[in-house]
Structure 1
Amino acid sequence: MTSIILESIVLSFALAFPATLIAIVANRASHTQLPASSQRWAIGIFITLLGVWFAAAVLLAKANLFTLPTEAPQVPRLILLLLGGSLTVWVLANFTAAGRAILQATDQSVFMGLQILRVIGFVFLVGWAMGPVPWEFAMPAGLGDIATGILAVFAYKAARSNASNARALIIRVHILGLLDFVAAIGTGVLTSNGYFHLLSTDAPNIVDHYPLVLVPAFFVPLFLTAHILSIQKMLAEGKKMKTVAA
């Protein structure tokens, strides 16, 4: 019963989140000077990437290939997919003509709107309440995600209205959101079977098993990329403002 509930929550989000991302990319592409054919290609490539990525994540998860290694110095496959997925999206956004145009047309309110969806972290609290997820992981990971999502609401509103405190709120979202990832990954490793399993040794975490493993294998890399691209734009805009002022 617990597995069914957790799977339902994760898979529901797995439908809603990519659909939201695709809609955003399509909308932002329409605000560029790209030809219609280039827009379609960009959207098609993004849809294909998400589809292949998610399918691979599900297959690997069900084959238990994301379980943490029990001997050092093996690198967890889950970390490789997390970083590799994030890097792939970042490369497409920065090193393709369509990606750069779409990124240029994407303002900070869009990035903050995406971070609102971080409230999906409540699934870890559900897992804790139902038993299989240890509190040492669920509390920092779940509450950190929820806090990031709530703070992102205020940053989104400020960015939309060009409020004077928008930049400060956006920076806070990035700080909290990235620290949350560090805490979640750290406590996830410490509570799961593996060579760093130091916490909850009597009841190992199931975050490296299907369905919860889809969160770090698929959702987290996309949220991480949104952080990186947003920070990148902030730095570029700050540099431009200094150049104009000079």
Structure 2
Amino acid sequence: MLLSWRRIPAARAFFERLGLPSYLWLHMLRAFIGAGFLIELSRGRLPAEFALGAGVGDIIAGLLAALVLFTPARTPLRARALWVFNVVGFVDILAVLVAAQRILFFGDPRAMASFGQAPWPMVPLYVVPLIVASHVILFARLKRPASLV
């Protein structure tokens, strides 16, 4: 997705035309995914070293996305809120990726077995790449505030 955004003019135009709410609604889903991680932790299906950080971080990112979405448009407050959301959300998703990889490569990969059962495979296969790509695209658009209208 990022490669097409960078290299294909039609794809770049598509992502530029997407309104800010489209990106924010995607990120609001993170609150529900984060809650799911915490539920899986409580059931003993995910390790605490992954689920606590990922769960709480995704809930915070999702709530920040909602805050930005419901902040009045074209105000300095919204611009600041969008920057805060994007930085916090991006750092969170990177930390989640590092935690997952650390468990998979240096810990017990069986601890992440929940991701082999529906609906969890959708998260690393589709949701995480969309989240990362949307953060990168939003950072690029934040450099040009007029593109966020």
TM-score higher than 0.5 here?
yes
Counterpart residue identity of residue 124, structure 2: P
Q: CA RMSD in A?
A: 2.3
Contact 1:109 1:155 in 2 (8 A): no
Contact 1:93 1:99 in 2 (8 A): yes
What TM-score do you get using the length of structure 2 for normalisation?
0.81
Report which of the two has the higher share of helix. 2
Secondary structure at the counterpart of residue 102 of structure 1 = helix
Match of 1:162 among 52, 55, 74: 74
Note if 1:231 corresponds to 2:126: no
- Higher-Rg structure is 1
Q: Distance in 1 between matches of 2:60 and 2:101?
A: 22
Contact 2:45 2:114 in 1 (8 A): no
How many aligned residue pairs are there? 143
Ranges in structure 1 where 5+ consecutive residues have no aligned partner: 1-88, 239-246
Match of 1:141 in 2: 54
Q: Distance in 2 between matches of 1:153 and 1:133?
A: 27
Contact 2:27 2:65 in 1 (8 A): yes
Match of 1:108 in 2: 20
Deviation at 1:220, TM superposition (A): 0.4
Task: Please give the per-residue CA displacement for 1:52-88, whole angstroms capped at 9, x wherever unaligned.
Answer: xxxxxxxxxxxxxxxxxxxxxxxxxxxxxxxxxxxxx
What TM-score do you get using the length of structure 1 for normalisation?
0.52
Task: Please give the per-residue CA displacement for 1:187-241, whole angstroms capped at 9, x wherever unaligned.
Answer: 223334x3x22xxx5x733255344343112110011111111111111348xxx
Match of 2:103 in 1: 191
Alpha carbons of 1:204 and 1:122: their partners in 2 closer, same or farther (altered >3 Å)? same
Map 1:56-67; keep pairs closer than 5 Å: none
Matched-pair identity in %:
23
Alpha carbons of 1:187 and 1:101: their partners in 2 closer, same or farther (altered >3 Å)? closer
Secondary structure at the counterpart of residue 175 of structure 1 = helix
Contact 1:112 1:170 in 2 (8 A): no
